[in-house]
Amino acid sequence: MMTEELSKQLRLRRPARLKFDEARQTDLLLLPERVIRLNPTAGAILWLCDGERTVNQIIEELQTKYNQTDLKADVLDFLTQAADRGWVETWK
């Protein structure tokens, strides 16, 4: 992984939008023709893709939040998939 890529700021790909849904008590990713029900980890990662935080910062925050030190590979794996599916802007 290039350092340059890790310092990229990440954002959702418009018009995707996140919502915490009261009725279902879960995070949802809203897309034009789809609604994705996110598991808690996926939700936690995507909420941090706000266009301000870099990939590195997102990893660090998640590691602090879950009190772990080895989340980098999992987070990068998820973000790669999220970009492939058009949920977040391409960052590589």
Partner 1 sequence: MEVAIPYALTAELTHRCPLHCAYCSNPVELSRREHELSTQDWMNVWEEAHDLGIVQLHLTGGEPLLRPDAEQLIRRARELGFFVNVITSGVGVTEKRIRQLALAGVDSIQLSVQAPTAELADAIAGSRAHESKQKAAQWIRAAGLPLHMNVVLHRQNIDLVEDIIELCASWGAERLELANTQYYGWAYLNRQHLLPAKAQLAAAEEAYTRAKERFGQQMELIWVIPDYYEEFPKPCMGGWGSISMTVTPDGKVLPCTAASSIRTMKFDSVKEKTLKWIWEESAAFNAYRGQDWMSEPCRSCEHRFRDFGGCRCQAYLLTGDSGQADPVCQRSPHHHMITEFISTMNAEDHAGASAEPGELFPSYAYRGRPVMNGGIAGENI
Tell me which residues touch partner 1 (CB under 8 A).
14-15, 17, 19, 21, 23-24, 28, 30-33, 35, 86, 90
CB of 77 to partner 1, least distance (A): 18
CA Rg value for the chain: 13
In whole angstroms, give the CA distance from residue 16 to residue 37: 13
Compute how many other C-beta atoms are within 10 angstroms of the C-beta atom of residue 82. Answer: 22
Closest distance of CB 42 from partner 1, Å: 17
In the bound complex, what is the minimum distance in angstroms from residue 17's beta carbon to partner 1?
Answer: 6
